[in-house]
Structure 1
Amino acid sequence: MSGARTRERDLKNFVLPEIGRLEATGDVWEPYRLVDPVGQCVEPVAIYFKDLLAAASPATTLYSYGNDLLRWWRFLWAQGLEWDRALREDARDFTLWMQLADKPVRVHWRHRGKDPSEIPTPKPRVGRLAPGSPNPVTGKPTIGKKYAPSTRAHFESVLRTFYDFHLDRGSGQLLVNPFPLDRRRRNGRPNAHHNPADEFRHERTGRYRPKVPERIPRRIPDDKYTEVFAGLRSHRDRALLAFWVSTGARASELLTSTQRDALPGQQVIGVIRKGTQDYQQLPASPDAFVWLRLYQEEAWRKGVPRGRNQPLWWTLRLPWRPLKYHAARAMFTRAVELLGANWTLHDLRHTATYRMTEDPSMSLVYVQHILGHKDQSTLQKYLRPSRDEVISAGLAHHARQEAKKAAPPPAPPAPAYNEDSLNTLFGGLLP
């Protein structure tokens, strides 16, 4: 291991091995477990996950953190390093690799364990955009070959908090956090001279944390939403979209509803909030309940389980199973791909938020409560003009300029009037 510290790593040719895994256990006491290449549980990660569960973190947080920890452990295994002996040079090298190298290509499960020369090269699909290029319909870039800045920032935050936890705990031989704070922010209290009239700034950032550009929420224009809606194949899918775009609920939240949670008489539907796990009733549009009733009548005739405590959303084919997030996302992806777009389910939440904030009779306090936001300041980004609005305003400006050029010149004054008198009267505005 000492030799690995004395020579520079060949990061340019380094390939992150696909060893180890993050496995779901189905146990609420341990939802996810990080497993090493020989099938043994990684104990430091298990202890950290237990602490996150005690802090009321949902299982989705463990899954998100676990993927970052698995990426770091694969680097440690490839370099022959122990997790508690990693130095800041190791964190620096892997952060640099994530910044410049291409993301590893995931091996299909049919080809796992085979020799790389035996794996056929996948044929590129006709008409598919190059990785990272913007979609011509939505303007959203496609998934690129490099790690996104948000992915690298999330990785840095997870690893820094992971090592801070074990430093406070005194685990192993750990003496220093490999992911330190920025040199300028390491000492002193963050926001020490904060002005109460200003927003708090993130002054405790990591040294290797990249700058993440602010994301602009993407909305689905009304005309395009109509086209997507018209391309859906079932009443269930139409009801789902109508609820998503009218309630502003997250995609996973709406899928937690049971049949007793939909109350057409009160025009509300109940969901379990993602972060707090609280139950909340959300107002929905009347047409959402119309499509829901059509879906229920059709589903019950086919034999879908019926009961107040039964899930509200089910698969369309036997065997009947509650609809999960990945299946709902695949349904929506197929619908938008017919238009050549790459909107996501979360863009429906953005669309609902834009519609509510643009209503002058809708207070932002109500919008904040419906969306489940902790702070009203998070709605400020929805008050700015969207990409489509900016483009439409710019095109309208150019159209006015062209119309102004094409307009005929004003007629000269009649010869019976004195030109000097007219200029005095109109302030010299005549040509």
Structure 2
Amino acid sequence: MAVLESVKERVGPRERRAIRAAVLPVLVVGVLLVVLVPLSSLGGVGAGLALTFAVGLVVLAAVGVESTAVAVLAIGIALSPLDNFRPIGALAFASLSDLVLLAGLLVLLPVLLRKPLPSEWLFLAAAGGLVVVGLVSSAGAEESGASLNSLLRLLVGALLLPVAFMVWRPSRGVVVGFALMYVVGNVGNLVAAYTVGESSWDGRRIGYSTHPNVMGLCAMLGLALVPFLLRVLPRRWSWLVLLLGAACAWNVWVSGSRAALVVAVAVAVLFVALERRVEVALALFGLAIPALWIVGNALTGGGSMQNNVLGRLLGGGTAAGSDAEREYLAKVALDAFTSHPVLGIGLGDVMEAHNIYLQVAAAVGIVGTAVYLVLLASVALRAITLPGPSALLALPVLGYAMIGLMTTILWDRYVWAVLALPFLVRLGDGAPEADPADTVPSTDQWETA
């Protein structure tokens, strides 16, 4: 120790910094070689992971931590509608989107640790209350392990992204980029639906979704983001946004999801009511002309045409069997709720009733349902109170609240990747309006918090 202290006294701060600058890179490279070379020899998966890790380090060194996290999270959000895209067999329990989003949050962690605690107390209180009620309900459930597993999935899937985003609050351009990437991801799923993706047994398109209804739900959320993108992007890109929106609309159609169709129409009507602009109404009227032609073909067609979204909405195709199953599952959930009305029967079967409100009531009772409604209302309130065009982020939130009457989906990333977007925007700092002259916003407009 005495020798080390003597050496330390003789070597000044400048020399120590020079030694660290010379030695640290060598140590890092040595550690990476020890880890990546054996990993790359473990077949195609290992080589892919090693290559991905190496490329990520290069990008990290080139553009910095936060910019790398933005890029990784954007890719994860674009992949989220393709929730059944799981190319790594050993990690089939999670979609590629889940893994990419987790990697993005891990890269972002040093940035988040330097940020102050969030002030979204309504959401945080409701989230904490839901966890407490879920733990109590799980303790009294017949299958406590399954209930706790569902509670963990709820935490990771529904609460992680909003909490991370409300702490982060990046540049306003990140909000726009993430919204755009989600819509682009739906277009990618549409391409997959007609190429490498699959169709369900009744002829409905799936793409890389786990179910046709999931494909329709994601497309509906993508459509609900289009008004926001039209307002914040330069006008010269409006044609592209409308084209992406049309692709999302076609996704709804080929998915055969009646709930997605009804809610997409409701969101469009809500948008017109909020905007009260003649040009918006005329644009929607023009877009309705080819839609009416497609509807006409669907009404006069037969066979497989009866399993498209309109045919099923009118009771054709597999609609009758689906309705009967929904009625049975709703009755089961209602019986579970009436047998344990206060704290429910646990979260083990929380994905059964095709109605998220009835599911939550059966799982965590009146108390948990009240807390969940506050949680969902806090997300909608956060979006509605945003200034300027950022308030249009309320449309997908309200769309999910409506489709919740007809879906089982509570915590999946392809929903909460969109519902978390309002928490990215700082209050009093709305997303920029599109410039009428199509000028590029100045650098200071997009500076980070």
Q: TM-score, normalised by structure 1?
A: 0.21
Question: If each structure's helix is expressed as a fraction of its own residues, which one has the higher value?
Answer: 2
Bigger radius of gyration? 1
**Higher normalized contact order (CA 8 Å, seq sep 6+, divided by chain length):** 2
More strand by share: 1
Taking structure 2 as the reference length, the TM-score comes to 0.20
